[in-house]
């Protein structure tokens, strides 16, 4: 129990450490769920639940200065409790969503009270020409300001939360988890909506419909759609490119002719 709690805390810290490892998506629910499954000895359930959480948190990614719900703790604790209580992804979501919001508070506490002093310390070291100092500040700031907080929240949450969660789950009416399963069907729309907001305009909206149609009419899986989409993108880019070049050549040619006379 204690060992599992420590390991889960470390998993969460590893997830957050994606910011140390090139923002490599370690923190995504698909990975976190899997690692949680490995720690608790049920990899398959971890992968499955991680996949569901991934969809639910599809819209949770930091673009610019937006801070999404703390999905690492949400996923790890949600998945862990779903596995230990032998229940499904809807339980993971029922636990994960509130946990993600709660831990975001803790994370923000760190961002507001712990991190800024480090930032100012860095300024100070810069003034004193202390390169070593800046390097140390860099590592300590991320560790104490965010990483450790998440790890503690998850580790302690799992250790003290287990009995509480089991008690809570036993009184949770079935309609709540069923209602949440319906919600799970809707949630990915937020993520897709956010992505569309980012890249869609009137001219390229048709490609969204194309991908949709490929799925509903031809039952193509994700990989197939991606391959066809990539081919389409390459072909269209080439056409567009040759058009621009032709225009350029045509204009250039005209100027040359002009000079000859």
Partner 1 sequence: MTTKTSKKLERKQLMSVFWRSFGLEWDWNYERQMNIGYCYCMLPVIKKLYDDPAEQEAAMKRHLEFFNTTPQLATLILGITAAMEEQNANDPNFDTQSINDVKVSLMGPLAGIGDSFIWGTLRIIATGVGLSLATQGNILGPILFFLIFNIPAQGLRYYLMGAGYKLGSGFLATLQKSGWMEMLTYGASVLGLTVIGGMTAQNVAINVPLAIGAGEEATTIGDICNTIMPGILPLLFTFGIYYLLKFKNVKTTTLLVVFILIGFAALSSASWDSLTDRPAAAQTQRKTYRDRNTEKQRRNTTMMKFNEQEKIDSVKGALALRPQIEEIVDGICENGYKNIVWLGIGGTWASAQQATVHMKEKTGIETWAENAAEYLTTGNKRIGEGSVVITSSVTGNTIEVVEAVKKAKEAGATVIGFIDAPEAALAKMVDHVISYKQNEQLKFFMTADRFMKNAGEFDDYDEMYAEFDQYLPQALVEVEKAAEPFAVEFAKKHWNDDIHYFVGAGNQWGATYSYAMCYWEEQLWIKTKSITSPEFFHGMFEIVTKETPVTVYVGEDRQRKLSERVVNFLPRICGNYTIIDTKDYELKGISEKYRGDISHLVMHAVNNRIDVHMEDETKHPMEIRRYYRALDY
Using CB under 8 A, which residues numbered 10 to 49 contact partner 1? 19-26, 28, 30-31, 33-34, 43-45, 47-48
The CA R_g of the chain, rounded to the nearest whole Å, is 25
Closest CB 2 distance from partner 1, rounded Å: 27
Residues 132-191 that bind partner 1 (CB under 8 A): 134-135, 137-139, 141-142, 145-146, 175-176, 178-190
Closest CB 205 distance from partner 1, rounded Å: 7
Does 105 interact with partner 1 (rule: CB under 8 A)?
no
Closest CB 260 distance from partner 1, rounded Å: 28
Residues 200-259 that bind partner 1 (CB under 8 A): 200, 204-205, 207-217, 219-223, 225-226, 228-230, 232-234, 236-237, 240-241, 244
- Give yes or no for a contact between 89 and 83, defined as CB atoms under 8 angstroms apart: no
> Among 78, 35, 76, which residue's Cα sits nearest to residue 184?
78
27 φ, ψ to 5°? -80, -10
User: 66: which DSSP letter?
Assistant: -
Closest CB 121 distance from partner 1, rounded Å: 9
Q: Three-state DSSP class for 26?
A: coil
C-alpha 237/C-alpha 127 separation (Å) is 49
Does 129 interact with partner 1 (rule: CB under 8 A)?
yes
Using CA atoms, how far residue 2 sits from 8, 94, 158, 160, 212, in Å, is: 10, 24, 9, 10, 47
């Amino acid at each position: 129990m204690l060992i599992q709690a420590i390991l889960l805390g470390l998993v969460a810290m590893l997830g957050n450490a994606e910011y140390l490892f090139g923002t490599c998506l370690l923190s995504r629910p698909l990975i976190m769920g899997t690692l949680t499954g490995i720690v608790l000895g049920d990899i398959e359930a971890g992968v499955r639940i991680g996949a569901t959480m991934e969809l639910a948190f599809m819209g949770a990614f930091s673009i610019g200065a937006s801070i999404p719900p703390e999905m690492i703790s949400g996923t790890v604790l949600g998945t862990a409790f779903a596995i230990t209580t032998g229940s499904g992804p809807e339980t993971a979501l029922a636990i994960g969503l509130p946990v993600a919001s709660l831990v975001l508070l803790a994370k923000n506490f760190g961002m507001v009270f712990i991190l800024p002093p480090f930032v100012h310390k860095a300024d100070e070291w810069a003034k004193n020409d202390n390169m070593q100092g800046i390097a140390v500040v860099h590592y300590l700031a991320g560790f104490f300001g965010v990483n450790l907080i998440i790890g503690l929240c998850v580790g302690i949450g799992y250790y003290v939360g287990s009995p509480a969660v089991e008690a809570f789950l036993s009184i949770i009416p079935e309609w709540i988890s069923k209602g949440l399963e319906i919600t799970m069907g809707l949630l990915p729309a937020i993520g897709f909506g956010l992505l569309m907001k980012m890249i869609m305009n009137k001219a390229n909206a048709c490609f969204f419909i194309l991908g949709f149609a490929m799925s509903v009419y031809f039952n193509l899986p994700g990989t197939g759609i991606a391959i066809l989409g990539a081919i389409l993108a390459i072909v269209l880019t080439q056409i567009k490119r040759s058009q621009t070049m032709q225009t350029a050549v045509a204009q250039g040619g005209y100027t040359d002719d002009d000079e000859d006379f």
